[in-house]
Amino acid sequence: MKKKSSIIKLSIIGLATVIGLVLSFVPISFGLTKFTSFARAVKLGLDLKGGVYAVYEMDEGQSTANLSSRMDGTRTRLQDLLVDKGYTEATVVKDGTQRLRVEVPDVDEPGKIFDIIGKPAELRFELEGNTVITGKNVLSAVADYDTQQGEYVVSLSLDSDGTVKFRDATKAENKDKQISIIITVDGEDSTISSPKINDQIVNGKAVITGMESREAAQNLADQITSGQFDVKLSLLESSTVSPTLGARALMLSIIAGIVGLALVIVFMCLVYKMFGAVASFSLVIYTVLMLFFLAVIPGVQLTLPGIAGILLSIGMAVDANVIIYERIKEEYRGGRSILASYYAGFKKAFWSIFDSNITTVIAGAVLYFFGSGSVKGFAITLLIGIVLSMFMALVVTRSIIKYVLHINSSSEKLYGLKRGKDFENLGADVTDASIAEADAAQKRNKDGKKDGAAGGLANETV
């Protein structure tokens, strides 16, 4: 009975994997809707796919005092803006003393770079023709949703200077006067809104209301952010740019990955026999899931080192299996049956796998939250790899092995196990009866508890 259901379960897992593999590599179209394969949907970095570039030049007539450090500051803010938008692999470099060169990966139209960076907008609040505060007084501009009014807004936090000026402008005697919020893009002024002063605002928070959509609010917030740049920039040129490494590098890495994966599978099957085969099968599932997550999680732009990192994570994913199998071997050597060794092996290996992976997760999470640019992107890839490999070893491989053992739990040879000196004549499944009994007892116990709990509840209601 158990054997039959195990075969069915294994077939289902196998089928799901095949479907996953197809979805990963073959684009499918239903009527007019097209689904890109996971592998194709993964965004690639500048080195593998190229993207667009734009060169910004400092506007004429600006002060050149501290130019170098101001350019550095502008560059950092631009880079942060790009990372915020999920372009962790975008680069910003100084080109000479007065220009910045931005490269954004995996975008095909040069015009899109403006969608990403936004056209820098200068902001000012005017009261009766006098400027109250400008974008320079803005510490941060974020898109928000005003639940009371039910509309999207841009919230501004002002610096101390701006707070004082804004407080003075909104004092009681100016009540009911209009404040105009004006932005200047490419030298053209436009008034976004002219709210009336209701109350004095002392906390340094200003809100721009009347945004049409979340997108509009976000765009304005970005424009204001880029308008605060220490150096005013205009676009000099922008166009597409080819990958620095190109298609050959990508293809060779993929070939290397496939060969490496195949060798690992051969190694595992030779050393751990049936267990190794299960691990190899899990490895295929791991690859499918990895591709899926890389495709859907934002902030991932795979670069060549990223691919190498994933290949390495495949090696590390096997690691957890090796730990478990060595444990199982050890337990079997020590006289347990195959089934009992399996239970003990997974149980004992659990904490060592958990602890070792959590430590790495800590490192990855810190790098994600505190690192910048490409470090952040690499940390995401690392985190996906670790969490997935832990899940694979502790959940997926474990279940598959259980089903396989239900089909056969008596062949030493099949699993590559060997008895220790003291237990040479012990049968491979000699203690199975007792284990199965304990298993059944545990299950009865669980069911009993459930029934009991339900019963208890029923009793209480009565």
Q: Report the site for another protein in 334-353 (rule: CB under 8 A).
A: 348, 351-352
3-state helix, strand, coil in the chain (%, to 5): 60, 20, 25
Q: Pick from 29, 248, 459, 462: which binds another protein (CB under 8 A)?
A: 248
Minimum Å distance from CB 313 to another protein? 9
Q: Is 308 in the site for another protein (CB under 8 A)?
A: yes
> Which one, 74 or 223, has the nearer CB to another protein?
74
Q: Pick from 131, 242, 411, 442: which binds another protein (CB under 8 A)?
A: 242
What residues are paired with 124 via a beta bridge?
A: 134, 182
Residues ≥6 apart with Cβ < 8 Å to 448: none
Using CA atoms, how far apart are residues 397 and 280, in angstroms rounded to an integer? 10
Backbone angles phi, psi at 53, to 5 degrees: -130, 155
Q: Is 240 in the site for another protein (CB under 8 A)?
A: yes
State which of positions 427-456 bind another protein (CB under 8 A): none
Using CA atoms, how far apart are residues 142 and 62, in angstroms rounded to an integer? 28
Query: Residue 310's closest CA among 295, 323, 292, 291?
Result: 291
Q: Pick from 44, 181, 295, 323: which binds another protein (CB under 8 A)?
A: 323
212-220, 369-377, 410-418, 435-443 -> range binding another protein (CB under 8 A):
369-377
Q: Is 264 in the site for another protein (CB under 8 A)?
A: yes
Q: Pick from 135, 162, 299, 306: which binds another protein (CB under 8 A)?
A: 306
Minimum Å distance from CB 107 to another protein? 14
Cβ atoms of 35 and 28 closer than 8 Å: yes
Q: Is 394 in the site for another protein (CB under 8 A)?
A: no
State which of positions 79-98 bind another protein (CB under 8 A): 79, 91, 93-97
Contacts with another protein, 13-52, as mask; x by CB under 8 A = ----------------------------------x--x--
Minimum Å distance from CB 377 to another protein? 9
Q: Is 362 in the site for another protein (CB under 8 A)?
A: yes
Residues ≥6 apart with Cβ < 8 Å to 74: 100, 229, 230, 231, 233
Q: How many CB atoms lie within 10 A of CB 84?
A: 12
Using CA atoms, how far apart are residues 268 and 277, in angstroms rounded to an integer? 7
Q: Is 54 in the site for another protein (CB under 8 A)?
A: no
Minimum Å distance from CB 238 to another protein? 9
Cβ atoms of 192 and 153 closer than 8 Å: no
Query: Residue 380's closest CA among 456, 303, 297?
Result: 297
Q: Pick from 309, 335, 387, 414: which binds another protein (CB under 8 A)?
A: 309
Cβ atoms of 24 and 37 closer than 8 Å: yes
Minimum Å distance from CB 160 to another protein? 25
